[in-house]
Amino acid sequence: MVGSCSNPNCYAADGESCALGEPDHKKCCNWISDPKNPSKTNSGANEEAVAYKIPWSGSALGINDFIKLTPRGRSILIGILGAENSGKTTFLVGSYLKLLAGSSIDNKAFCGSQTLGAWESLASWVRFDDINHLSSFPPHTPRSLDRVPGILHLALKDITNSQHRDVLLTDAPGEWFSSWSLNENNQEAEGAQWVVKNSDAFIIFADSEKLSGSERGQARNELRQLIERLSDHIGDKPVFLFWAKSDQKPNKTIVSNIRKTLSEKVNNSHELSVSVENNESLVQALSSVIHEVWLSPLADQIKEPVCIHSPFYAFRGRV
């Protein structure tokens, strides 16, 4: 597309709609028709038919996309944490495919997504193709220094009372959380900091395959370190430990050690087992998370502090 927009929060040049709502983005006051001459804006010379565009691209959401999404109702952000190749993206894709097949999540029906392009891009890796008839696990989430992870979106509606929620799931590289667990002020940990600060609930992935292999000692220490770091920032927010690749069985000492760390450090913790060998376990695990955060907690009652203990200052007005 020829031209660009001077508004940093507008992506009309990438094929999305105008951020200010202009049906023809070329007539917007921020549109630069000639990139070589930025002062030349809003020429209005092109009178071709206007093609209306949707305000999203279908790719993973960024922070600016929240401005368009969150005003329509309550949203739930679920932070997904874990080391590289622990099964985070595979879990997301498996849950998505079960939804497409008609499964519900905690009696909540799938009613749309603004990131269908991103979902389908990941799901294409696990589907059989017509030529090679092969499928594979999704590729490793690329590492970057972005401050905000890619967000996958699911719109869910309660089947019993029609309540609607926008569920946002983070898809971030495991290296972010490995760096953050070692040093929370690391430059590479900025994305992890954002996830921990803004999420309503957390899923930590324990790689059962690695915990039962030759690197089990390192994997155990990294997982414990991640749990301990997370516990410093979440208060009473729910934390779910997913034993991923649960067809593999770590020894009882390692499992007991991790469970002890979880129970001592996290106030509101839960454990579940997930495996692609039992794809029902994927949607059941996500259902447990959604059930925990579907209804927001009640706000604390406001209490007026007593600043001076004197009857002359106790008057609060006539009833």
Cβ–Cβ < 8 Å for 112, 99: no
pLDDT digits (tens, 9 = 90+) for 246-278: 989 999 999 999 999 999 999 999 999 999 888
Amino acid at 85: N
Task: Provide the token pair at 209.
Answer: 């395959």
- When pLDDT is averaged across residues 90-103 and rounded to a whole number, the result is 89
Q: In this predicted structure, what is the pLDDT of residue 319?
A: 52
Give the mean pLDDT of 74-83. 92
- 115-169 per-position pLDDT tens digit: 888 888 888 877 666 555 445 545 545 444 455 678 899 999 999 998 999 999 9
Residue 129 near residue 169, CB atoms below 8 Å: no
Question: Quick one: pLDDT at residue 143?
Answer: 47
Domains and CATH numbers, the chain: 1-55 (no CATH), 63-293 (3.40.50.300)
Residue carrying the six token digits 């739930």: 76
Cα-based angle 240, 246, 249 (whole degrees, multiple of 5): 115
Positive or negative torsion for Cα 289, 292, 295, 300:
negative
Greatest distance between any 2 Cα atoms in the chain? 86
- Average pLDDT for 89-103: 89
Residues 6+ apart with CB under 8 A from 161: none
Q: What is the pLDDT of residue 40?
A: 56
pLDDT in tens, 164-205: 999 999 988 888 888 899 888 887 788 889 999 999 999 999
Q: What's the CA gap between 93 and 111, in Å, rounded?
A: 17
Per-residue pLDDT tens over the stretch 18-75 = 777 777 878 888 888 776 665 555 544 444 445 555 555 677 887 777 777 878 888 9
Smallest Cα–Cα separation from 239: which of 205, 214, 281?
205
pTM, 2 dp? 0.76
